[in-house]
A and B are shown apart, each in its own frame.
Chain A
Amino acid sequence: MTRNGIILLVEDNPNDVELTLRAFEKSNVTNEIVVARDGELALHYLFATGPHANRDPTMLPRVVLLDVKLPKIDGLGVLRRMRADARTKRLPVVMLTSSKEEKDVMTSYDLGANSFVRKPLDFGQFVNAAGHLGLYWLTMNEPPPAGWRNGGWR
């Protein structure tokens, strides 16, 4: 599978992080996966601030896998700030969460999420889902042009 592009996984539960990493590994997604343990760290990473101040801000992940329930700033808050910022407003975001509350699903889409996936309880199914996600967002999906470089810094 494709090797280029980073996946940003925003997830606070270490078990879920471990299982997600293993699921991608098992479905042969070998892209670099950056893990942010809360919403604030996710934003620091995306905008190269705080602990990530030394990062090249033009290097954006190919896709963000975003949990809804997160410490400090929750997933919907992260999504809202991403969509409000020209640098990240078109960045593909997949909500990857335990919740299937209608309210969460609707708010996510309203805020501009590209997809909403409920983490299956069965690990086998989760591995399948990870494979589909990788195949779709890293290979099939045409990412938005790096538009922010041409006009995003206005």
Chain B
Amino acid sequence: MKPCVLIVDDSLTVRMDLGEAFELAGFTNTLCSSLAEARQAISVGFFALVILDVLLPDGDGIEFLKELRTSPSTAATPVMLLSSEAEVGDRVRGLNTGADEYVGKPYERSYVVARAQELLRKKEPASETGRSRTVLVIDDSPTFREELKSVLEASGYAVVTAGTGEEGLRVAVDARPAVIVVDGVLPGIDGSTVIRRIRADAALRSTPCILLTGSEGRSGELDALDAGADAYLRKEDDTGIILARVTAVLRSSASSSVVVSTASLLGPKRILTVDDSLTYLHEVAAQLREEGYDVVPARSGEEALELLAVQMVDCILLDLVMPGLSGQETCRRIKGTTAWRDIPLIMHTALEEPEAMIEGINAGADDYIAKSSDHEVLCARVRAQLRRKQFEDENRSIREQLLQKELEVVAANSARELAETRGLFVEELESKNSELEAFSYSVSHDLRAPLRSIDGFSKLLLEDHAARLDAKGQDYLHRICESAQRMGELIDDLLLLSRVGRADLARGRVDLSSIARAVFEELKNRDPSRQVTLSVEDHLLVEADSGLMRVVFENLLGNAWKFAAKVLSANIEVGTDQQEGVAVFFVRDNGAGFNMSYAEKLFSPFQRLHTESEFPGTGIGLATVHRIVDRHGGRIWASSAENQGATFYFTIPPARPGVRR
């Protein structure tokens, strides 16, 4: 589908002219003469681009621009403001309001179209493959153009055409053709010049060019080769031969890479002209527009700086002698600003003295031209500066690419080193882990064997040799047995703690309510004499490792059971609370509680807040619970007061994929 342009201008001439220009460039368009019409059009249609006059009979174009920018459907649509020049303020206001481009009237229609195409290209870059088969045909004879076009298209090429050299160059910038076929004899600049300009443009210079000519003589051929054409053909050659030549040229150039990122020298360029004389300003602007440049006039150095702040230009033509901010000072400020200092600046003055020239160059100007020079010279100088700037840009981009490559190499190296180091760490960690594994294996196996002997032989002494022991001796043996038992418990608890830290989490849906009830049943079976009531909230569901959740409740309920031993009606409660929007599980008892000033010791291994004779324990249980909760990414804490029971809170957040703790 062809992109549609909305053209809003109260002048019928402008509407007709631009409408036609865009149609020729492959757009459809909608023409509006007032803001009311434009608003109506925007509300029903979709536009790729808007061209908007600032002064309209029913209002201010910039106000309409504001509306476009605030509506989501048009906020990103490129808008080009088109306005009768002179008022610097309008330009500044328009660009600040979000215009993508501001073109002064009288406008150059090819410039407007080229700029529009550039804006759209910026928005959605054309695919490279689409370009690679495009042929540009430049010939002033429509018959020949069409004939060649149909032959090429029949062979699968996309074809763009131009009737003059100037138009051809603009089309080349826009279409970036894979090959250019250009007639040697053209109105305006001739074919050789077209090729020479292409060769002078960093972005286009690698495009193969074929020069066509009607002349029999050798001079045409020499001209063509001189200009840098890749091939030379006579017009009377069969179109088949032309086709074959195009294919051959394309094949041979297929391997050469093209720097497409460099802005083309032949693309639309904007020149800021600064002069206090309105007459002179108009004169220069007219000359430059004739060359296809967009001209932004400024009446003073101050205006120039104001304009630069809102709109970049490709070249600056600056009068040396001006009231207010002088040319030198303006030049110094421009060259002193990072964003502007690379813009080619040509000092322009009526003074012929070498001092003036030196002064200008010293202020940082790139070139100097006398006002007396004729306009050919002016244009040539401007072109030269633009070309110089492009080469600089190209060099810079090459330097940047090299730097980028170096950076990439450095980044790749450090990434590799990081991976290697990481690999070493993982290896070391794994070896430490398996050491630990082996260690805890021997702990569980070898440390228990002597304990069994201590306990066993003490018991045998008590049972079989009691007669030869007095009461004290028997008491000592009992103590030996108790100590062995206790050490056995310690070993088991330590093993569990270390296993909890290493085992992989097998997360699944776990019903904490039923775990709590089952653990409580076990506690009751182990100590049926105790009267303890349990109330459990139903359906406490989490994503967790069920084995480890059981360990959590064995410890928390075990503690609650233990510490409520001295209470008459012992009560344990298991449930949830909402704290700061997070589900918090709790286990609450009405037992002995503890002093909160020791709370931070609770979860460290071997820390005990009660004596062994008050409440027995290894001091490892809560450390294990803490580690389990931590491995699930949750938190655990407690609140209590002495003789007022204790509440243990913990959270089990949902598993985050890819996170291993």
Chain A residues close to B by CB (< 8 Å): 13, 15-16, 19, 22-23, 26, 68-69, 97-101, 119, 121-124, 126
Smallest beta-carbon distance A10→chain B, Å: 15
Number of interface residues of B (CB under 8 A): 21
Query: Which residues of the other chain, A, contact B451 by a CB distance below 8 angstroms?
Result: 121
- Let me know if B455 and A98 touch, CB within 8 A: no
CB distance from A26 to the nearest CB of B (A): 8
**A122: chain B residues within 8 A (beta carbon):** 455, 481, 485
Contacting residues, chain A, for B484 (C-beta < 8 A): 121
Does more than half of chain B's interface fall in helix, strand or loop, or is it mixed? helix
Give which listed residue, B446, B452, B460, B485, contacts A22 with CB less than 8 A: B460
Q: Which chain B residues lie closer than 8 Å to A119 at the CB level?
A: 448, 452
16 contacts between A and B (CB under 8 A): A13-B453, A16-B452, A19-B452, A23-B456, A68-B445, A97-B445, A98-B445, A98-B448, A99-B445, A121-B455, A122-B481, A122-B485, A123-B456, A123-B458, A124-B459, A126-B456
Q: Whole-angstrom distance between the alpha carbons of A7 and B449 in the complex?
A: 21
> In the complex the two chains form, what is the Cα distance from A23 to B463 in whole Å?
12
In the bound assembly, the distance between CA atoms of A70 and B182 in angstroms comes to 95
Let me know if B444 and A101 touch, CB within 8 A: yes
**Which of B449, B460, B485 is in CB contact (< 8 Å) with A16?**
B449
Is B615 an interface position by the 8 A CB rule?
Answer: no
Contact B441 A123 (CB under 8 A): no
Residue numbers in B under 8 Å from A101 (CB-CB):
441, 444-445
Contact with A along B485-506 (1 / 0, CB 8 A): 1001000000000000000000
CA distance A100 to B448 in the complex (A): 11
What separation, in Å, do the CA atoms of A121 and B441 have in the docked complex? 16
In the complex, number of A-B residue pairs with CB atoms less than 8 Å apart: 59
> Of A22, A23, A98, which is within 8 A of B449 by CB?
A98
Closest CB in chain A relative to B456 CB, distance in Å: 4
Q: Confirm or deny: B457 has a beta carbon within 8 angstroms of a beta carbon on chain A.
A: yes
The distance in angstroms between the C-alpha atoms of A35 and B549, with both chains bound, is 43
Contact at A69–B456, with CB atoms within 8 Å? no
A22 to B456, CA, bound (A): 9
Q: Are B449 and A13 in contact (CB under 8 A)?
A: yes
Among B445, B460, B463, B485, contact of A121 (Cβ-Cβ < 8 Å): B485
Distance to closest chain A CB from B112 (angstroms): 80
Whether B459 contacts A123 by the Cβ 8 Å rule is: yes
Point out which of A69, A98, A122, A123 has the most chain B C-beta atoms below 10 A from its C-beta: A123
Q: Find out whether the CB atom of B453 lies under 8 angstroms from the CB atom of A19.
A: yes
The 3 closest A-B pairs by CB, nearest first: A123-B459, A15-B453, A123-B456
Closest Cβ neighbor of A13 among chain B residues: B449
For residue A121, give the distance in angstroms from its CB to the closest CB of chain B: 4
Asked if B455 contacts A123 (CB within 8 A), the reply is: yes
Which residues of A are found within 8 Å of B446, using beta-carbon distances?
69, 98
Report whether B456 and A19 are in contact in the complex, using a CB–CB cutoff of 8 Å: yes
Interfacial chain B residues near A121, Cβ < 8 Å: 448, 451-452, 455, 484-485, 488
User: What's the least CB distance linking A153 to chain B, in Å?
Assistant: 38
Most A CB within 10 A of own CB, among B455, B456, B484: B456
Given contacts A98-B448, A119-B448, A122-B455, 20 further A-B contacts (CB under 8 A): A15-B449, A15-B453, A16-B449, A19-B452, A19-B457, A68-B445, A98-B444, A98-B445, A98-B449, A99-B441, A99-B445, A101-B441, A101-B445, A121-B448, A121-B485, A122-B485, A123-B452, A123-B455, A123-B458, A126-B452
